[in-house]
Structure 1
Amino acid sequence: MSKKIRWGVLSTANIGVKKVLPGMQRGQYTTVDAIASRDLAKAKGAAAALGIPRAYGSYEELLADPEIDAIYNPLPNQMHVPWTIRAAEAGKHVLCEKPISLTVAEAKTLLAVRARTGVKIGEAFMIRSYTQWLRVGELLRAGRIGQLRSVVGFFSYFNDDPANIRNHIESGGGALLDIGCYCIQAARFGFGAEPRRVIGLIKRDPKMKIDRLTSAMLDFEGGHAIFTCSTQLVPYQKVQFFGTTGRIEIQIPFNAPKDRPTRILIDETGELFGSGIEIEEFPIADQYTMQGDAFSRAVLEGGEVPIPLEEAIANMAVIEAIFRSTEAGQWETPQA
């Protein structure tokens, strides 16, 4: 195998064309060599805009390309698992956009596929490969804020367009699957464990039926995590980790800019006006470049991808339990 992983892309989805692929093209271990769409003109247009050598008018053609090592799958949520399976069976490693599936049961089917094909399959939570999150992990494990007791997250944007796929309930639209999954990931990452039980509240859009406002509490052995996510609120995002002796705040945790430095705040004084805050700033970087390189290195070196299937299934189990909780009006235990 070459020193770079040769990637192909299933679809011309916006997240890929506008964010992920430009980042991957700057990678040390990645090249983007082909893109496919069910509309050849769209594939050719995206390929021309991004300088991708080959364009295909079907996903099958891309999977049959012997010069592609790995597939990036940003298809609509309900198509994640079927096309990840097909890519794996074609001998391609797969980086699949989050959420990797719509249910735990569906995600678990990928375990047998991975075992049978021997390829690597990972979920695209780019934050887990990014500098500021790696540093927060170091600080938490080193006990910089004492014992972690609470993780608080908020993630919102405003989109009430009925034509947008994020508002199609049959495609896994809505706040929890689209962005709440990041808050769950943050909590599980912080505690380094799985929640014992969860409880949630949902407000649904009266016409589109998607959850437009979701809040949840996750009960870990070491403490609690709470978060709110919404697809119909003013855009905002923040994650804070509270310990017995201090707190850490990630200023822009999820949509980290690629054109300016990112910052985390470390407060070990508890001074309410913020005069005791220490700021750590990280050089300009693209989290999608780092995600692609981390996955590609795992393939090249035989290591583990940043978010393997077991991690993806555990995150989905929490999502599923929150949905069950909102229906039942009671605590639910994640069933991974």
Structure 2
Amino acid sequence: MAADLRWGIVGASDFARRTMAPALHMAAGAHVVALATRDASKAAPFSAYLPGLRVESDYEALLTADDIDALYVPLPNHLHVEWVLKALQAGKHVLCEKPIAMAASEFDVMIAARDSSGKLAAEAYMIVHHPQWQRARDLLASGAIGTLRHVEAVFSYNNPDPENVRNKPTMGGGGLRDIGVYTFGSTRFATGQEPLDLHATLEREHDFDTFAEVTARFDGFTFHSVVSTRLWDRQEVVFHGDSGVMALTAPFNAGRYDQAELVLETARNTRTVERWPGVNQYVLQVEAFCRSAQTGEPYPWTLEQARGTQVMIDDALRYLPDQ
């Protein structure tokens, strides 16, 4: 049996504390060794459930640590590429929060560094590890709803806090970067297709988007997405075919927004519902990463796949109106 992959966490973000550090702790094949934070007071909540956790005051200390195999990077968006490259150059595997880059052009250097280092580098796109999305992809491929003709996707929440990093353009804020990755990437993952063209209507505050209505044409089907950081909480993705409809009612924050469900309607009065209570997609993500890093098993969300989503984000942001 292979030894556990030993992890260091770069930065004590709230998301790391609430979600990913517990997932790293619970995942089979993973062991959290160290946390780097410039604010020592933020380390205590991590140490409470990570016994023996070493706390470093300098992020760079994790790069040179011999007892760390992989880094998890939950830093603000504008620092992601820098730390992916630093991790790979230091001979560490790296799992970085989404969006892993600020522009599609930044993927080339990360892919080259990954290939040169022989280490695994991936965007933390957890939904592809959840069985509801794997089931959705399989049902589409099997023709369960006939020929797919349209996809409707929405993700919204209301966060006007000016101190939140999502509302700071210098840190890579904005709705498309924060949650557009979900409506765009999930459609690409489930269908295996890339858009042929794209149009967007955006609203802005200061220098970032807070609302985006995006339409796109794929080969054989149309796509409509609404993403907003100024609307009430809502999540749903609907795949509409010529002989059925498939809806995912908690497609992105399964188990938190609501229970993960897949509702399939394929004939009059025929409706089936599949549910996955208790599934933690973050734990599944870590376990998949550890297996891939240690055995070479294919990872389900490569940098090349993540790049396609960033292309869509870049295209949509071209429509950001002038102030």
Q: What is the 5 A alignment of 1:141-180?
A: 141-180=141-180
Residue 190 of structure 1: how far off its partner (Å):
2.6
Give the TM-score, by structure 1 length: 0.91
Aligned to 1:49: 48
Q: Work out whether residues 94 and 122 of structure 2, in 8 Å CA contact, stay in contact via their aligned partners in 1.
A: yes
Query: Where does residue 110 of structure 1 map in the other structure?
Result: 110
Structure 1 residue 258: deviation in Å?
6.2
Instruction: Report the Cα distance in structure 1 between the residues aligned to 2:257 and 2:208, rounded to whole angstroms.
Output: 33
Alignment of 1:227-238 (within 5 A): 227-238=225-236
User: Partners of 1:50 and 1:137 in 2: how far apart?
Assistant: 36
Cα distance change of structure 1 residues 153 and 282 upon mapping to structure 2, 3 Å threshold: same
Q: Which residue of 1 aligns with 2:215?
A: 217
In the alignment, structure 1 residue 289 sits paired with structure 2 residue 280? no
Secondary structure at 1:50 match in 2: coil
Q: Distance in 2 between matches of 1:21 and 1:259?
A: 20
Question: Which amino acid letter does the alignment assign opposite residue 74 of structure 1?
Answer: P
Q: How do residues 287-326 of structure 1 correspond to structure 2 at under 5 angstroms?
A: 287-326=281-320
Matched-pair contact (CA < 8 Å) for 1:261–1:285: no
Q: Show structure 1 runs of 4+ deviating over 6 A.
A: none
Aligned amino acid, residue 48 of structure 2: A
**Amino acid corresponding to residue 238 of structure 1 in structure 2:** E
Structure 2 letter corresponding to 1:63:
L
Instruction: State the match for 2:134 in structure 1.
Output: 134
- 1:293 alignment partner AA: E
Shift of 1:198: 0.8
Write the letter of the residue equivalent to 1:297.
Answer: R
The equivalent residue for 1:25 is: 25
- Decide which of 225, 246, 252 is 2:244's aligned counterpart: 246
SS in 2 for 1:217: strand
Amino acid corresponding to residue 230 of structure 1 in structure 2? S
User: Which blocks of at least 5 consecutive residues in structure 1 are unaligned?
Assistant: 329-336
Which amino acid counterpart does residue 19 of structure 1 have in structure 2? T
Q: CA deviation at 1:325?
A: 4.1
Residue ranges of structure 2 left out of the alignment (5+ in a row): none
Q: 1:261 to 1:168 in 2, by over 3 A?
A: closer
> For the Cα contact (< 8 Å) 2:196–2:217, is it kept in 1?
yes
> Are the equivalent residues in 2 in contact too, given 1:258–1:287 (CA < 8 A)?
no
Q: Is the 8 A contact 2:149 2:220 kept in 1?
A: yes
Does the C-alpha gap of structure 1 residues 189 and 39 become closer, same or farther in structure 2, counting only changes over 3 Å?
Answer: same
Please list the CA deviations of residues 278-324 of structure 1 after superposition, one character each: whole Å capped at 9, or x if unmatched. 11112411110001011111112112222111111111111101112
1:201, 1:215 within 8 Å by CA — same for their partners in 2? yes
Contact 1:34–1:47 (Cα < 8 Å) also in 2: no
Structural mapping, 1:181-192, within 5 Å: 181-192=181-192
Aligned partners of 1:198 and 1:325 also within 8 Å: no
SS at match of 1:87: helix
The structural deviation recorded for 1:209 is 3.1
Deviation per CA, 1:31-79, whole angstroms, max 9, x where unpaired?
2221111234433x24312315211111111111111111111100000
**Cα offset for 1:327?**
5.6
Residue 333 of structure 1 corresponds to none
* Other-structure match for 1:331: none
Task: Provide the TM-score with structure 2 as the length reference.
Answer: 0.94
1:85-104 deviation per Cα after TM superposition (whole angstroms, max 9, x unaligned): 11111111011110011111
Between the aligned partners of 1:49 and 1:165, the Cα distance in structure 2 is 26
The alignment status of 1:87 with 2:87, answered yes or no, reads yes
* 2:64–2:90 Cα contact (<8 Å) kept: yes
SS in 2 for 1:186: helix
Which AA in structure 2 matches 1:38? R
CA distance in structure 2 between the aligned counterparts of 1:123 and 1:94, rounded to whole angstroms: 9
User: What is the root-mean-square deviation of aligned Cα atoms in Å?
Assistant: 1.8
CA distance in 1, matches of 2:219, 2:237: 20
The total of aligned residue pairs comes to 321
Cα pair 1:260 1:283 within 8 Å, conserved: no
Kept after mapping to 2: 8 A contact 1:166/1:178: yes
- Distance, in Å, in 2 between the alignment partners of 1:66 and 1:27 is 22
Aligned to 1:6: 6
Q: 1-side partners of 2:34 and 2:45: how far apart?
A: 10
Shift of 1:80: 0.1
| In 2: Cα distance, 1:240 partner to 1:303 partner | 31
Any conservation in 2 of the 1:97–1:123 contact (CA below 8 Å)? Answer: yes
For residues 222 and 3 of structure 1, the distance between their equivalents in structure 2, rounded to whole angstroms, comes to 47
Identity between Structure 1 and Structure 2 (%):
35
Amino acid at match of 1:233: L
Contact (CA 8 Å) 2:203, 2:321: kept in 1 or not? no
Quick check: 1:3–1:300 contact (8 Å CA) kept in 2? Answer: no
